[in-house]
Amino acid sequence: MTTTMWRQPKTVWSIAFACVISFMGIGLVDPILKPIADELGAGPSQVSLLFTSYLAVMGIAMLGTGWVSSRVGAKRTLLLGLALIIVGAALAGSQDTVGGIVAFRALWGLGNALFIATALATIVNAASGSVKQAIILYEAALGVGIATGPLLGGWLGGISWRWPFYGVAVLMAIAFIATVATLPKTPPAETPTSLSAPLRALGHRGLLTVGITALLYNFGFFTLLAFTPFPLAMGAHQIGFIFFGWGLLLAITSVFVAPMIQRRFGTLAGIVGALLGFAVILAVMAAQTENKTVLVIGVILAGAFLGVNNTLITETVMKVAPVERGVASAAYSFVRFSGGAVAPWLAGNLGESSIHLPFWVGSGAVLLAVLVLLTARRIISALDEAPGHGAEAVTSRTEAEALTVGDA
């Protein structure tokens, strides 16, 4: 089984490589937030818009990625996404104003939405072996990207804040060429996806509740990512290593620890425990914001709780609503990225008044997420009563694509 999994066509490896670079995009800018602010004379609230524009556009675009790929085919969708990332990253690195960087970071978000909504489905189609093996390859690429994004940002950011953007553009250009050369032409879907389907799906109480839970939790998540570099006040290399530790723990717990917790305690208890643990960490960081040691330990430990939560809540989305997985995950991503988009800007503004306040608000939002989730406890608990915690086998291209969007 292992031998088969690692003996894959060139197409699989080229897209897996692009997945690694794509998932670097979230943590890549962490180490360079303060250098950008210092060099361009901007405050935390202005620089945090690098996250806001990226996430807002990506969230809205998630509603239409299925519509696009079902009409033009997977290959063209992948290449369009990669091209937009290349242009967005390269031009963001060439700007001399925060507004310019924010604008092209938004273009990057659009490209990322198109790419990640199609990547895993394409790997599943092209891979040798089972669907499960293909998903393991994808999860490995996701974990490497999340963990190494801050590391690359810190390494290149030590030269100049512009270099992480240029680095992504170069790496994605390589991935673009490899995808053109190795991926066969893919036809459009027989039944095109509707634009309104994800919005209609939010009429299901379970899906809407989980989506709002994720929206609130993202206030804490992106407060941690977008604001912590400012009170840390360290160099790009140091910030990069700190968030590398965060990403590494997140990747490990999402793949290995979350399934064990789910089997032992159940889905609802696992999510609630992870959220409460994260809320406590943010509260400690709020009380001890002047203590850099506490902040460093808090960031790294938060990765463990975030990894467990990400896996369990994504699985819940796939199972909780009586709609296609692709539709459910698009609706969920649209709602949760709304929180992700607002949080960095809000944290930056609050931080200009008090460096403690963003962490207190983030902790409160995560606690509120727990209360919202508990209103649907009967729906979620019922999932655990079914075999495999209610999980159906991922056996099709559409279902694989849904998991990709949910994990983003």
Model confidence over 330-348: pLDDT tens digits?
A: 788 889 887 778 989 999 9
CA distance 133 to 307: 20
* Burial of residue 285, with CB atoms counted within 10 A of its CB: 0-12 exposed, 13-18 middle, 19 or more buried: buried
Give the residue numbers spanning the domain of 293. Answer: 2-407
Q: Backbone phi, then psi, for 186, in 5-degree steps?
A: -115, 135
CA distance 303 to 108: 25
pLDDT the model gives residue 16:
84
Instruction: Find, among 131, 97, 124, 96, the residue nearest to 16 by Cα.
Output: 124
| Confidence (pTM) | 0.85
CA distance 137 to 165: 26
H helical segments located in 94-235? 98-126, 131-157, 163-182, 197-201, 205-227, 229-232
Structure tokens at 41: 């004379």
Low-confidence ranges of the chain (pLDDT < 70): 1-6, 120, 128-136, 386-408
pLDDT the model gives residue 40:
92
pLDDT the model gives residue 234:
92
Total number of domains constituting the chain: 1
pLDDT the model gives residue 135:
65
CA distance 103 to 84: 13
Query: At 253, which amino acid appears?
Result: T
DSSP 3-51: HHHH---HHHHHHHHHHHHHHHHHHHTGGGHHHHHHHHT--HHHHTHHH
What are the CA-CA distances from residue 343 to residues 38, 90, 111, 358, 362 (Å)? 21, 26, 22, 9, 8
CATH of the domain at 353: 1.20.1250.20
* Burial of residue 136, with CB atoms counted within 10 A of its CB: 0-12 exposed, 13-18 middle, 19 or more buried: middle
Place of tokens 């512009």: 162
Instruction: Give the distance, in angstroms, between the CA of residue 171 and the centroid of all CA atoms in the same chain.
Output: 19
Question: With contact defined as beta carbons under 8 Å apart, do 82 and 268 qualify?
Answer: no
CA distance 311 to 262: 10
CA distance 111 to 54: 10
Instruction: Find, among 358, 328, 337, 142, the residue nearest to 231 by Cα.
Output: 358
CA distance 252 to 272: 19
pLDDT the model gives residue 132:
59
CA distance 148 to 236: 14
24-83 pLDDT tens trace: 877 888 899 889 999 999 888 899 899 899 999 998 998 888 888 888 888 899 999 999
Structure tokens at 272: 């609630």
Quick check: helix, strand or coil at residue 321? coil
